Structure formats: C-alpha cells, structure tokens
Amino acid sequence: MSSYLARVTVRDVPDDDTVLGMRDALGAVDARTTADGGVVFEVPGEAPDRETAIAVATRHAAEVLDGFTWDVEAVEDLGM
C-alpha cells in the first residue's frame, strides 16, 4: 500500500480552539491557515490507490466536520 496525505481544507473556521479540536479529530499532522481564512489539515493514511485514499478521507471528514464547508484532495507521499 502507498502512503497518502489527505489535504482537508475547511472554510470559515471560527477560532483557534476549533482548529485544534478539528486537528485532533482528523488525526492531522499539520494545520495551516490559507490566504482566504480557511484552514488546511494534512492527514496521513495508507490506501491501495489515490481514489480509495480520497474516498476514505472524505468519509472521515464528513463524520468529523459536520456543519462546516470543506473539501478533500489526496497526494501520494513517497517520503512517509
């Protein structure tokens, strides 16, 4: 299996405490603010292919980020 890094971008995060809670709940290794005020969380995982990685990350984000606007992309991270 390949290692993947899911980038979950959340729009309109109200405060730093919410960011920390989201980071913990997602299992993110990093969180950074975007120029438009969103937050990008980097969530590591393993999957047999990119499509599966996106599907798994999307399901997980949907469970954790109910009520927020978000999107997911996944990139293969060969360094993991």
DSSP string of 39-71, one letter each residue: EEEEEEEEESSHHHHHHHHHHHHHHH-TTS-EE
Q: For 5-57, how does the pLDDT look when each residue is reduced to its tens digit (9 = 90+)?
A: 999 999 988 899 999 999 999 999 999 998 888 999 999 999 998 899 999 99
pTM: 0.88
Q: What pLDDT is stored for residue 1 in this prediction?
A: 75
Q: Domain coordinates of the chain in residue numbers?
A: 2-76
Pick among 3.40.50.720, 3.30.70.260, 3.40.449.10, 3.20.20.80: CATH of 2-76: 3.30.70.260
Find out whether 80 and 6 touch, Cβ atoms under 8 Å: no
- Tell how strand 2-10 and strand 70-76 pair up: antiparallel
- Residue 80: which residues within 8 A CB-CB, separation 6 or more? 3, 5, 44
Q: What pLDDT is stored for residue 75 in this prediction?
A: 85
Whether residue 80 is predicted with pLDDT greater than 50 in this model: the reply is no
Q: For 8-18, how does the pLDDT look when each residue is reduced to its tens digit (9 = 90+)?
A: 999 988 899 99
**Cα gap 59→36, rounded to integer Å:** 25
